[in-house]
């Protein structure tokens, strides 16, 4: 996959792409920084396939894990300060870095585009209704070229073929994984499952 470097011209971020990449290099350790750059590339590819704005895909791909390496206190304080669902306090970074992290991105990176912020918000637990951009980021994170879990090739093929089927595939597999680990499931994850999986073309029995 050839690397695509976009010139930003939509005034979504108050600086250029180089500056955004630099800010991420400061916020993240090397491995995570490399991951977000691969997610950006996959997001651009999926955006092209699905008629989604590539600049938004690039920005959201780069920033989606901006908050991933922040201490728990930052999320706990944000949940309290913004009076988010108190049940979130029973979960952890895996959910917080997206579902709460978007607020840190808004405040610290000066990004106010609602589609970008929602795409970041939903990349950890999905949502019953997701914009195409949110679906693109949700899937780009799952199938970026560095991922090598069993079934990733199948996940890529399904997603390239049909974005919504990809969302269903990931949503089913993530819930299945949590249940098999006997892990707690944040209730909104079930809402995502119910909206995407039973009616997905890839799982329909008739």
**Applying CB under 5 A, does 55 fall inside the site for Fe ion?**
no
Interface with Fe ion (CB under 5 A), residue total 2
Residue 149 or 203: which CB sits closer to Fe ion? Answer: 149
String of contacts with Fe ion for each residue 83-122, x by CB under 5 A: ----------------------------------------
Choosing from 40, 53, 65, 118, the residue that interacts with Fe ion (CB under 5 A) is 65
The pair of three-digit structure tokens given for residue 24, joined into one six-digit string: 């991420």
Q: Output the smallest distance, CB 177 to Fe ion, in A.
A: 15
Residue 8: φ, ψ to 5°? -80, 130
Q: Is 43 exposed, middle or buried (0-12, 13-18, 19+ CB in 10 A)?
A: buried
Residue 64 or 206: which CB sits closer to Fe ion? Answer: 64
Q: Output the smallest distance, CB 122 to Fe ion, in A.
A: 11
Q: Output the smallest distance, CB 34 to Fe ion, in A.
A: 11
Choosing from 141, 164, 166, 193, the residue that interacts with Fe ion (CB under 5 A) is 141
Q: Which chain residues interact with Fe ion by CB under 5 A?
A: 65, 141
């Amino acid at each position: 996959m050839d690397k695509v470097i976009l010139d930003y011209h939509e005034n979504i971020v108050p600086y250029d792409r180089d500056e955004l990449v630099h800010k991420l290099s400061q916020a993240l350790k090397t491995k995570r920084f490399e991951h977000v750059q691969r997610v950006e590339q996959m997001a651009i590819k999926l955006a092209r396939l699905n008629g989604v704005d590539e600049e938004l895909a690039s920005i959201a791909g780069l920033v989606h894990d901006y908050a991933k390496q922040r201490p728990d206190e930052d999320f706990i304080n944000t949940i309290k300060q913004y009076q988010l669902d108190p049940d979130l306090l029973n979960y952890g970074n895996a959910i917080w870095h997206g579902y709460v992290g978007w607020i840190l991105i808004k405040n610290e990176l000066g990004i106010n585009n609602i589609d970008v912020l929602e795409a970041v918000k939903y990349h950890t637990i999905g949502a019953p209704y997701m914009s195409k951009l949110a679906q693109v980021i949700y899937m780009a994170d799952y199938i970026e070229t560095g991922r090598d879990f069993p079934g990733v090739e199948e996940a890529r093929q399904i997603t390239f073929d049909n974005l919504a089927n990809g969302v269903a595939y990931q949503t089913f597999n993530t819930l299945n994984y949590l249940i098999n680990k006997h892990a707690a499931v944040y209730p909104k994850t079930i809402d995502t499952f119910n909206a995407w999986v039973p009616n997905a073309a890839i799982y329909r029995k008739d």
